Structure 1
């Protein structure tokens, strides 16, 4: 599980293809909070929708696991949404976790941060879990293992909300959707040279799956009631539930 820099920061995730190394770069960490809103359609609304989906089943004093928590933006959004929720956030980048502490400010006492991958997450059981803009960095087998480990830590029927790059993998469809992703980012103010590098990196290095494959992987991990709730060019988001 990981988090991102040019080209990785332009992939609109948090974590690099070599685990935390890109976000050990102080400049990349400093830029992190500026870029997702320019690259991910409806970025702030994605956080709000995720919180609403969690709130359907998570009590006012619920405990939530957040994978890829470095940077702190979703933690800040979720903690502001429900003042009684408590969180465990996991991320492999120490620098990004430090940024999360700064972003959280007075909300930080409700959050425990853990450096590492899913294996460093507490056993739970958690009332809900999220993984936003992160799973697309994991190869299929590691992604499946991570999903299984998330499910194992959830209380029965607890919601899991996940969103990341997920787009057709045939050459023609892949090229078309990556061009659309780049066009959105350019119109939002991202530098053209940076987006050119991002497209090359996604096409050549990112182990992204198609939406159909991502949906099937959630089922293979043992989740039930898998539903698509978000689609924004190359990004897809699902809500699923522990059995």
Structure 2
């Protein structure tokens, strides 16, 4: 089963990120500012991992002249995105699937938020390369996901901090500990150095860290301009 195909998990989804991701709303605002440096009026932005619609809503409300293409493998999460967007859906095209489902167009920018940590290194590299293929030369890609040291003692320390943040935000301690354990056991999390190397290998340049919140990191990187 896909991580977000369970109806109960989908129904609760909107409650999770604000309590589990430090500065969740600010992450969206920072991503928007980075996109706005390059996206022209009436520009087009590709949003990979768009299910739920939370970042699409933030983006569309802030930039009513932009058009968005959202891609997600979960039909249930895309249905939630439609409900979340409401009238803003007029700015958005939604596609069920993975990056190869995204129309083979050239976009002014792309985002992939809270998604890449579900993919193996090989899948991430392929996804990043396909994202690059769909960007105009010099266009930005904004990514953010779990990324922390994989040295056992360091990893455990960061996951403990992740759980403590969740508890401080109102998550029950038992649930916070379960979530941290699941990240360690099930997600192919990489170190920040490994994440940056994959971006370079995929053909991105000028890679800059713009966000760090306990176990999460976010980067902006740019299509290297080569054919």
Q: Which category of TM-score, normalised to the shorter sequence, fits these structures?
A: over 0.9
SS of the residue 2:110 aligns to:
strand
Normalised TM-score (structure 2): 0.97
- Which residue does the alignment assign to 2:27? 46
Q: How far off is 1:75 after superposition? A: 0.1
- Whole-angstrom CA distance in 2 between matches of 1:99 and 1:154: 27
**Structure 2 counterpart of 1:242, from 220, 223, 226:** 223
1:151 and 2:135 equivalent? no
Q: How far off is 1:199 after superposition? A: 1.6
- Whole-angstrom CA distance in 1 between matches of 2:93 and 2:194: 32
Residue ranges of structure 1 left out of the alignment (5+ in a row): 1-17
- Which residue does the alignment assign to 1:69? 50
- Which residue does the alignment assign to 2:210? 229
1:100 and 2:81 equivalent? yes
Normalised TM-score (structure 1): 0.91
- Whole-angstrom CA distance in 2 between matches of 1:212 and 1:25: 33
- Which residue does the alignment assign to 2:151? 170
**Structure 1 counterpart of 2:179, from 173, 188, 198:** 198
Q: How far off is 1:202 after superposition? A: 1.1
Residue ranges of structure 2 left out of the alignment (5+ in a row): none
**Structure 2 counterpart of 1:182, from 163, 185, 193:** 163
1:211 and 2:183 equivalent? no
1:3-50, Cα deviation, whole Å (9 max, x unpaired): xxxxxxxxxxxxxxx5xx232222111111111000000000000000
- Which residue does the alignment assign to 1:28? 9
Q: How far off is 1:100 after superposition? A: 0.3
- Whole-angstrom CA distance in 2 between matches of 1:110 and 1:55: 16
Runs of 4+ aligned residues of structure 1 deviating over 6 Å after TM superposition are: none
- Which residue does the alignment assign to 1:80? 61
SS of the residue 1:31 aligns to:
helix
- Which residue does the alignment assign to 1:9? none
- Whole-angstrom CA distance in 1 between matches of 2:49 and 2:171: 23
1:48-92, Cα deviation, whole Å (9 max, x unpaired): 000000000000110000000000000000011111000000000
- Whole-angstrom CA distance in 1 between matches of 2:140 and 2:164: 33
